[in-house]
Amino acid sequence: MKRVVITGLGAITPLGNHVNDFWQNIIAGKNGVGPITKFDTDKFKTKFACEVKDFDAEAYMDKKELRKFDLFTQYAIASTDQAIQDAGLDFAGMNDDQLAEVGVIWATGNGGIGTFEAQLEEFHAGDGTPRFSPFFIPKMIVDIAAGAISIRHKLRGPNYCTVSACASSNTAIISAFDTIRLGKANIMIAGGSEAALTKSSVGGFNAAQALSKRNDDPETASRPFDAERDGFVMGEGAGALILEDLEHALQRGATIYAEIIGGGMAGDAYHLTGTPPNGIGAVLGMKKALSDAGISADKIDYINAHATSTGLGDLSELTAINAIFGDLPVAIGASKSQTGHLLGAAGAVESIISILSIRDGIIPGVINTTKLDEKIPAGLNIILGKSVKQEINYVLNNTFGFGGHTASTIFKKYEA
């Protein structure tokens, strides 16, 4: 099968609206949390989140276009435009046959939930006449970001959306990886976006007892593995990756960030929102990723854990990691301590962190965590505090989602 490499990156995040800014803030240990500004939180149990700041959608599209797209699609278009430019791709200069070899697999967990909420509020505030926007449905549906990216650049390769809750964009990356290595495309745009900081989402996650309510100290609320963690911190944004057939990338002289060599997906088959104490789905997903990559567990230098800062979820994942990696000195990080949980976009944004960790030889430390949960298996090498310098050749990135979805990807330092 074909080798697949990463040749472009783009990001809209709570820690910066460009990959370079985002990465510098990550390795500096910055925190993206702050008060929710998108709606009045007076009656909500959680009043903070990791919002995208200073996003200028008009830098990417005009006002007429903006009216057609929910914020999650705007984030998708902006991050993919960045990634396309970063990869040095000129789709306008390609012929129809070449464009047929370029596809888009874009993920989201909630799609246009902001549009859905706003339109229903407007309807119920009126006289009952259904005066819905003609853009209501195309702005709301989860696949529309993939379609919009394809239309924007005239890309006629495989085009669809993956939805597996918080594993969605890792699933998209694995699907894009498979598409190229099976010879069904030369280039794939993959990633995910989320704009779910809405009243219904925050209220719904509060009702499910999933969110932190540390309103008196929100800066330390996202604290994976900590004994006093009380739930995750919601985030928003997007991450985009350009995956490319190695031969194609070399022929056009592309800069190569890293190689993707394995992906594994599995199911917990356990609970709608909970994770099993033995982490069986995570174990299976990671084992499948290692098998797919053709490497043993001792090759992995760094695991970017899913690590949402929830009581059962963190322990389940670390139990699974311990079952495979045991006493191996693999470093374990948790970037959600800085970005919050970007839901369907988490896998893509955390893939960018994984890839740049390989490039720069840096493992971001877990911030906010001061006292590890005593139930965590002994001997695990969790990197707390400041980022550390270390040569990294292989990174495993985990994402898990409501419904028992698990997805793990493995990136490798590129060698000719």
* E-only strand ranges, 307-404: 331-333, 362-363, 381-382, 388-389, 394-401
Within 10 A of 316 (CB to CB), how many other CB atoms are there?
Answer: 25
Backbone phi, psi, residue 232, to 5°: -90, 165
Backbone phi, psi, residue 263, to 5°: -150, 140
Instruction: Show the tokens assigned to 117.
Output: 């909420």
DSSP 363-378: EPPBPS--SB-TTSPT
Name the residue type at position 267: G
Return d(Cα 324, Cα 11) in angstroms, integer: 31
Active site members = 166, 306, 341
Residue 38: closest CA among 173, 251, 236: 236
Helix (H, G, I), strand (E, B) or coil at 9: strand
- CB of 115 within 8 A of CB of 70? yes
- CB of 9 within 8 A of CB of 240? yes
* E-only strand ranges, 143-231: 159-162, 187-194
Instruction: Show the tokens assigned to 315.
Output: 């322990």
